[in-house]
């Protein structure tokens, strides 16, 4: 892990097209700005972890799950 010290107004560049800038340091929080292409997905860590958890859970299913859905599936 790279650890950097930055002051308000300073920033870092990730790759060729992402810039992270420290906007404000107030109390125990830091406001940051991220300039990145629109197709680059950016999430807060806790949101990303929740999405990943839900995706893992959705990927695990049992054959019994299909049996429960069968009566609700319209027949052709």
76 in a structural domain: no
Termini Cα distance of the chain:
56
Distance CA 29, CA 74 (A): 53
* pLDDT for position 19: 97
Domain that holds residue 23: 11-66
The confidence score (pLDDT) of residue 74 equals: 66
Asked whether the beta carbons of 32 and 21 are under 8 A apart, the reply is yes
The encoded tokens of residue 27 equal 């109390």
18 domain residue, yes or no: yes
Alpha-helical (H) ranges within the chain are 45-59, 63-69
pLDDT digits (tens, 9 = 90+) for 35-69: 999 999 999 999 999 999 999 988 877 777 777 77
Residue 52 lies inside a defined structural domain of this protein: yes
This model's pTM is above 0.85: no
What is the count of structural domains for the chain?
1
10, with CB counted inside 10 A (0-12, 13-18, 19+), is exposed
59 or 17, which is more confident: 17
Q: Is residue 75 part of a domain?
A: no
In a domain, 1, yes or no: no
């Amino acid at each position: 892990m790279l650890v950097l010290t930055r002051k308000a107004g300073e920033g870092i560049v990730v790759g060729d097209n992402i810039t992270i800038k420290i906007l404000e340091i107030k109390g125990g929080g830091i406001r940051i700005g991220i300039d990145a292409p629109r197709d680059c997905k950016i999430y807060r860590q806790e949101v990303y972890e929740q999405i990943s958890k839900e995706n893992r859970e959705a990927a695990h299913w049992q054959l019994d799950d299909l049996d429960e859905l069968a009566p609700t599936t319209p027949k052709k």
